[in-house]
């Protein structure tokens, strides 16, 4: 997809362009933004987390998605592709779509230098407008560091932080736990 001039797009225009595009883009309230490729560390971390989740949730009423599943956040007019998402029960789709979900329970983002601030602030604020959303996990790709936000009551969130290799991340919204050493298995912090 090549955008000729900077202008505001309607969500329907974005979706038409995105379906035929070779590359993925986010849509943020009228603006179409290219998604850059991930690093080997980014992909290793997302893969490790997703693989462990997939095994733990086997034969349970959850669906797991990684990187290419589009999410629509109607209150903020955002289409995005979280690194990892878990949906409880049946999938709910954006009106008229079968490729864009609206009901994640858990979202995990692997942080990069270029998206860190956005993922922690604006994106998390947007995710919190989703009624089904209960847990947010942010994984640093440059060092052992994981942040977890777990919803307890209406608009109340508990923050937890993990930095030690033997620390265990325990999700509160589903039965799942993983050590930081498993999250960071085969990750090379020396790679630039």
Tokens of 49: 């987390």
- For the stretch 101-125, pLDDT in tens is 999 999 999 999 888 999 999 999 9
Q: What is the pTM of this model?
A: 0.92
DSSP string, 123-172: HHHHHTTSTT--EEEEEESSSS-EEEEEEEETTEEEEEEE-STT-EEE-S
Alpha carbon of residue 181 to chain centroid: 21
pLDDT at position 76, please? Answer: 97
Question: Which residues sit opposite 192 in a β-bridge?
Answer: none
Tokens of 60: 């349970």
Query: Using only C-alpha atoms, what is the Rg of the chain?
Result: 17
pLDDT along the chain (192 residues), means of 10: 70 93 92 88 97 97 95 97 97 96 98 91 97 98 97 92 97 97 96 70
- For the stretch 2-29, pLDDT in tens is 555 678 999 999 999 999 998 899 999 9
pLDDT at position 114, please? Answer: 86
Closest to 107 (Cα-Cα) out of 168, 27, 46, 179: 46
């Amino acid at each position: 997809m090549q955008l000729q001039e900077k202008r505001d797009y309607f969500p329907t225009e974005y979706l038409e362009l995105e379906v035929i595009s070779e590359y993925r883009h986010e849509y943020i309230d009228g603006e179409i933004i290219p998604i850059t490729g991930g690093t080997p560390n980014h992909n290793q971390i997302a893969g490790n987390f997703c693989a462990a989740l997939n095994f733990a949730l086997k034969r349970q009423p959850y669906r797991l998605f990684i990187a290419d599943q589009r999410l629509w956040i109607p209150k903020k007019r955002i289409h995005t592709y979280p690194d990892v998402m878990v949906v409880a029960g049946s999938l709910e789709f954006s009106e008229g779509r079968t490729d864009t979900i609206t009901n994640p329970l858990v979202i995990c983002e692997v942080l990069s230098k270029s998206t860190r601030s956005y993922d922690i602030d604006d994106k998390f604020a947007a995710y919190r407008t989703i009624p089904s959303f209960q847990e947010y996990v942010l994984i640093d790709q440059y060092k052992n560091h994981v942040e977890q936000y777990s919803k307890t009551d209406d608009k109340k969130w508990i923050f937890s932080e993990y930095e030690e290799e033997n620390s265990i991340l325990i999700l509160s919204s589903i039965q799942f736990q993983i050590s930081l050493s498993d999250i960071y298995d085969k990750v090379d912090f020396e790679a630039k």
